[in-house]
A and B are shown apart, each in its own frame.
Chain A
Amino acid sequence: MRGLLVSRSRALLRSFSSSARNLFENKVAEKQKIFQENNDLPVFLKGGALDKMLFNLTMTISVAGTGYSLFFLGWASFPQKNKM
């Protein structure tokens, strides 16, 4: 049982030590460098290629959906001959 004590077991000590537990590293400085780069990009595109893809996707869905909703509004505005 004494072998199970953390202080006596090097294996356990290593897994509980602060160096092993740092699953997350502080990458804020790197991010700050990327987002403060003098490239005249607006903040919503400044993170890289994924930003552009997400923007395109969002805009396409929103605008296409708006077009569809206007079409639907036009359709729903007139009486339908078929029974619902």
Chain B
Amino acid sequence: MTHQTHAYHMVNPSPWPLTGALSALLLTSGLTMWFHFHSILLLLIGITSMLLTMFQWWRDIVREGTFQGHHTPVVQKGLRYGMILFIMSEVFFFVGFFWAFYHSSLSPALELGGCWPPVGISPLNPLEVPLLNTAILLASGVSITWAHHSLMEGSRKQMIQALSITIALGLYFTILQAMEYYEAPFTISDGIYGSTFFVATGFHGLHVIIGSLFLTVCLLRQLFYHFTSTHHFGFEAAAWYWHFVDVVWLFLYVSIYWWGS
């Protein structure tokens, strides 16, 4: 029987990177099929295999950490670096869309009327639903910090309550934003204003949904006693991601909703 004499994690060979890569192929070719040949079959196959891959890959990580004990301090350090680098890559993703917005809004083209918002666009009032959404996300930042402290102190019930409140606030934001999208007097095809608005806020909304799902998984894991008061990196990663989503919204609110109106 062989035992490792180091603290690092030598993972078992896994099929999920392969199925994930194949899913990416099916998603992209599926989009082509949908856009040009009016068929969603390949896209649906791609989405299914992507969801199956994600579920099983992350399930295996939980098994390796919580059930097999592979997440030693040095391994956890690597996971922290990984999450930080991932979030940084997402920051740059959003920087691109903010660049596009400022490029077009700081020197508005003649065709737009030389002003921002362009002629004919009635922007949303930043002091109505967008301000409420700001308050919601800020409050969710407070509740998730409460959840973290409760977890570190060993207060199981409080942690569950605080995390549930955080998730509920995230869902409330999503619902309000969806209603705003439906009621907005402009669309994505209304020139560069519509494009920058809906692409930037749209990708943000997608990240809110992803963050809410991540937090929900953490809630389930907490209910199943996976987290201890000293070892709960999955939750910390979700909290970092959630704060990142909050900060992006603050930039969106100040730049597009407030300055941009």
Contacts and interface: CB of A to CB of B under 8 A. Distances in A.
A65 B26 contact: yes
A35 B37 CA distance: 46
Contacts of A69: 25-26, 29-30, 42
Interface string B16-42: 101100110110011011001100011
A26 to B, nearest CB: 4
Nearest to A34: B67
B29 A59 contact: no
B63 A58 contact: no
Contact of A62 (B19, B30, B41): B19
A28 B12 contact: no
A63 B68 CA distance: 30
B236 interface: no
A4 interface: no
A32 interface: yes
> SS class of chain B's interface: helix, strand, loop or mixed?
helix
Interface residues of A, number: 31
B49 interface: yes
Contacts, number: 95
Contacts of B158: none
Nearest to B13: A42
Interface size range on B against A: 35 or more
Nearest to A25: B225
Interface in B129-169: none
Given A24-B224, A35-B63, A54 B52 contact: yes
A59 B224 CA distance: 29
A27 interface: yes
Contacts of A28: 66-67, 224-226
B234 interface: no
A62 B22 contact: yes
A24 B225 contact: yes
B84 to A, nearest CB: 25
Contact of B223 (A24, A38, A76): A24
For B13, B29, B33, B223, the residue with the greatest tally of chain A CB atoms inside 10 Å of its CB is B29
B155 to A, nearest CB: 13
B53 interface: yes
A65 B60 contact: no
A32 B63 CA distance: 8
15 contacts: A24-B225, A28-B224, A31-B67, A35-B67, A35-B68, A43-B11, A43-B12, A43-B63, A44-B16, A57-B52, A58-B56, A59-B19, A62-B22, A68-B45, A76-B37
Closest 10 pairs between A and B when the two form their complex, measured CB to CB: A35-B67, A42-B12, A62-B22, A65-B45, A26-B225, A69-B29, A58-B52, A62-B19, A65-B26, A62-B49
